[in-house]
Amino acid sequence: MKRMNTMTRFLVRFDHYLISTLRWLTLACFVALLILLAGIVFVRFVPVTSLGWSDEIVEWAFAWMVFVGAAVLWRDNEHFRVEWLPNRLKAKASGKVLGLAVEALSMIFLAIMTYYGLKLTVAAHDRSPILELPRHIWYLCIPLAGMIMIAYSIRNLIGRVLEVRHSVFSWKAQKRHTRSRATGQSP
Amino acid sequence: MLTLVIFATLVGFMFLGVPVAVSMGLTAALTFVFLGEGFVLTMVAQRMYSSTTAFTLLAIPFFILAGNLMNTGGITRRVFRFALALVGHFRGGLGHVNVVASMIFSGMSGAAVADAAGLGLVEMEAMTKAGYSPRFSAAVTAASSTIGPVVPPSIPFVIYGSITGVSVGKLFLAGCTPGVLMGIAMMIGVYFVSRRRNYPKERMASFRELVSSANEASLALGTPVIIIGGILGGIFTPTEAAVVASVYALFLGLVVYRELTVQDLPRVLWDTLLHTLRVMFIISAAGFFGWLLIHQRIPEQVITGLTALTASKWGLLIIIIFILLVLGCFLEGIAVLVITIPVFMPLIALYNINDVQFGVIMTLCSMLGLLTPPVGMSLYAVSSISGVPIGPLTREMWPYLLGIFMVLLIMTFFPDFSLWLPNLLMGP
């Protein structure tokens, strides 16, 4: 029990640091894009320097912003979804099973995305034309984001399973309770 | 047949509450596996990557950022005051102010939800204080927020342009007339509802007040000029125009009006990212989904199906609009756009329909989709801000829905209404 606790504590701390790092990385990419693109427009009018090298950085920052940011949103459950059915079944046991199914279905796609993202990243060993950096570092954001999203889905899945188990148990307990009360009250 | 199965699976996943982006990716992946073409899955990462990193799409976060900065930086209030001086003295004054303020604000913002959340809050507060029913103010706010993406700058046009290669500048110009017409249609709706319920009017502003409020709002009104002028003059691309608009909004908020502090910035930036990333992740997954459609020759199947139904251009457009409106009720707007554009584009070419006009039609359809339950983003945003439940809000919406629909019909049957401005300024 005690070991369980330190483990949970570690995970909570880890989650906190991981998410704030990713959030700052996403923000930094966005700010970098703002500055770079504003700079490109600026040097067009005031040609003090050439920013030809910036295209590759822009692409990198954009891709990392999108995928890393998507992972942050995944953790916070902020991605757009149709909530009509889940809201309708929220209070019921079937709603919890539905939540479980949605999480599992999502994980299938995330696994595919991560696996092939990883393959693409590993396969891309040519170098970019201007900065001559390996192409991996552009594609890496996809498997990275995929793995983080899967990790959080596993967390949610465990939570859901515990919830379902809990609700089934409490339902059974309640049933037993009402039955015993009913039998108790009957003369 | 395959087309139906694919779309049924997609809608099924979304209905269960699977995130929209994941629904698209999963549908595509499962279809490939069941067709025994699992090897095509290697395209997942590549398609997702290349469809998100298109340079034109980079305009999206910056147009949203410009709108959000304007919302926080004290510009919203100035726009509201200017609109009040302009139309406050009509019957149902604040209702008209709501529409006109949204029209002005739409020249700075590209997303409807940003409009509903920022400016909408100011509008609804003022209307409740003046004794309008919350239902009415919420309905007008939701409706007028959809002018935002039609009048440039506009996220749907950026997406349409990025997928089809149609000039974003032309699309922006083509959105001006329908945007203004939508505003007029909504003001007519507000007028009739207000007359029946005897809503108040505001005191007519003196000429001096009008000039001073216009003067106060004038710097904010410079944004659309920068964006449109810059793109038209060939000075910058739409993406760069979005960046320049953001920098201008930052400058106004931080330096000129001093109502924005550096401490506000992380929150504003994160709000912007939240909206952007939702859209971008959908576009990313749609890149792979679109690959499935093309790989399985779905557009060709749809063409054969639809050409059998109708031979005329108008018949086709009516069918397409019907499909878009039905999809818009059940799917999220951006998802509808990215899924249907690759399917419809070959048809548009075949029937000789102007692709700029078609962009306007698609955008108007997705605006109606934002306002129709069960899935209407603006409707839900305004409902959660105002506390008016979806049911009564929807019932209060119909005059404005009708208004937008009329504009949609005009744009469909009279292409010149949307095309005269881009043709005049950029040539046909």
Each residue of B337-381: pLDDT tens digit? 988 998 899 888 888 899 999 999 999 999 998 898 877 888 888
Taking an 8 Å cut-off on Cβ atoms, the answer to whether B53 and A59 are in contact is: yes
- Kindly indicate the confidence band of residue A126, based on its pLDDT and cuts at 50, 70 and 90: confident
What tokens appear for A15 in the block? 């989650």
Residue B134 has pLDDT above 50, yes or no: yes
In 3-state terms chain B splits into helix, strand, coil percentages (rounded to 5) of: 80, 0, 20
When the pLDDT of each residue in chain B is averaged and rounded to a whole number, the result is 88
- Contact of A69 with chain B, judged by CB distance below 8 Å, is answered with yes
Give the SS3 label for residue A23.
helix
Interface of B with A in 269-298 (CB under 8 A): 269-270, 272-274, 276-278, 280-282, 284
Distance CA B303, CA B310 (A): 11
- Contact of B52 with chain A, judged by CB distance below 8 Å, is answered with yes
Q: Which residue of B has its CA nearest to A26?
A: B273
Q: Which long-range contacts (CB under 8 A, 24 or more apart) does A121-125 make?
A: A121/B45
Contact call for residues B161 and B152 (beta carbons, < 8 A): no
**DSSP state for residue B254 in the 8-state scheme:** I
- Substitution target from A24, A36, A57, A66 for chain B, most B beta carbons within 10 A: A66
Q: Which of B124-128, B308-312, B398-402 has the highest mean pLDDT?
A: B398-402
Distance from the Cα of B417 to chain A's closest Cα (Å) equals: 34
Prediction pTM value: 0.88
Q: Average the pLDDT over B9-20 and give the result.
A: 91
Out of A30, A84, A142, closest to residue B273 by CB: A30
C-alpha torsion sign, points B223, B228, B232, B238: positive
pLDDT for B53 equals 86
Out of B17, B266, B270, closest to residue A81 by CB: B17
pLDDT for B204 equals 83
pLDDT for A169 equals 66
Taking an 8 Å cut-off on Cβ atoms, the answer to whether B45 and A119 are in contact is: yes
DSSP lists the bridge partners of residue A134 as: A127
Residue A186 has pLDDT above 60, yes or no: no
Q: Which residue of A has its CA nearest to B375?
A: A82
| B60-90 pLDDT per residue, tens | 999 989 888 888 767 888 888 898 888 888 8
Contact call for residues B171 and B356 (beta carbons, < 8 A): yes
DSSP lists the bridge partners of residue A127 as: A134
Helix and strand totals (H; E) in chain A: 6, 0
Q: Average the pLDDT over A153-157 and give the result.
A: 91
Place of tokens 């440039």: B152
pLDDT for A30 equals 96
Out of A81, A105, A116, closest to residue B41 by CB: A116
- Kindly indicate the confidence band of residue A184, based on its pLDDT and cuts at 50, 70 and 90: very low
pLDDT for A142 equals 95
Out of B15, B29, B55, closest to residue A82 by CB: B15
Residue B169 C-beta-side C-alpha neighbours within 13 Å:
23
CB neighbours of B204 closer than 8 A, spacing ≥ 6? B88, B89
In 3D, which of B139, B148, B143 has the Cα closest to residue B63?
B148
Taking an 8 Å cut-off on Cβ atoms, the answer to whether A105 and B22 are in contact is: yes
Taking an 8 Å cut-off on Cβ atoms, the answer to whether B18 and A105 are in contact is: yes
Residue B99 has pLDDT above 80, yes or no: yes
Distance CA A33, CA B280 (A): 16
pLDDT for A181 equals 53
| B43-64 pLDDT per residue, tens | 899 999 998 888 889 999 999 8
